[in-house]
Amino acid sequence: MALSADAPISDVVILDVPTSTFEVTQWRDGESQQIQDCLAEETPVALIYNGVSHAVMLATAQDLEDFALGFSLSEGIIECASELYDVKVSVQPNGVELHCEIASERFAQLKERRRTLAGKTGCGLCGAESLQQAMRYPKAIKSQATFEVASIQRGLQAIQLQQQLQQKTGATHASAFVLADGTVSMVREDVGRHNALDKLVGALAKTEQPEDGFIITTSRASFEMVQKTASAGISLLVAISAPTGLAVRIATQYGLTLVGFARAHQYVVYSHGERIL
């Protein structure tokens, strides 16, 4: 696929597919060859609640129903999965719309929260109209679950084999739910680390997963990643990269065990290490 710089946006945005193939020139050891390269696609995805647009995210166009539910839960738009009545996926010329029907009480709260905000929002903390709204803190985690070091190591090894988009493109993040014995029970991928975690949170909300599981993310552990994990009631977040200082402080205060720089034979525990045996 080849697109000119002045192509219309409807020709540039590839809709409703997770990957696309491009013909590229590969240079190696001083020689070149033409090959087909598989790239991850990012598509504008609009989240619309009861007919009102709330946010537009750049995301991978798969597991979108999970994304809608997980985003709604982790952003505090709804409090439980049953308050999201329906999700309709609508492909438009320049993106994908997720039409979410939520409980009237939650919609009234959403409108009040956004009453002074003009236009659409982006990712992360964008879309909040005050610092108080942006810095939403989770409930304290009371879980007494503990985890063996070997389970973390098994989970880290297993997640690599289940990252199908990453294997094809090398450009996506993954979030995985790992059982206490190290078995990876569920993986969601996306070009955005927050999106991958939202998709996983949404998928978990549809099932009855054991309370003593944990999450592995193939990214750094920012405030939002800690916030979303703790809001889902999960007591351990394992990241393969570094956390931020704010993430560590929030994890410490609200009872989340936070592990960073996780590799097969090493890791760093930043908070509540008593859960790791």
- Residue 112 CB burial class (10 angstroms; 0-12, 13-18, ≥19): exposed
| Cα 90–chain centre separation | 21
Backbone angles phi, psi at 183, to 5 degrees: -75, 125
- How many angstroms separate the first and last alpha carbons of the chain? 51
Closest CA to 192 of 152, 165, 232: 165
Q: How far apart are CA 236 and CA 229, in angstroms?
A: 8
**Which residues does 152 contact at the CB level (< 8 Å), separation at least 6?**
178, 182, 214, 216, 238, 259, 262, 267, 276
The answer to whether 129 and 119 have CB atoms below 8 angstroms apart is no
Q: How far apart are CA 83 and CA 241, in angstroms?
A: 34
Q: Which of 38, 80, 100, 123 is catalytic?
A: 123
Per-residue burial over 203-224, b if 16 or more Cβ lie within 10 Å, else e, is bbbeeebeebbbbbbbbbbbbb
Number of CB atoms found within 10 A of residue 264's CB: 10
Asked about 126 being catalytic, the answer comes back as: no
Q: How far apart are CA 267 and CA 253, in angstroms?
A: 21
Catalytic residues: 123
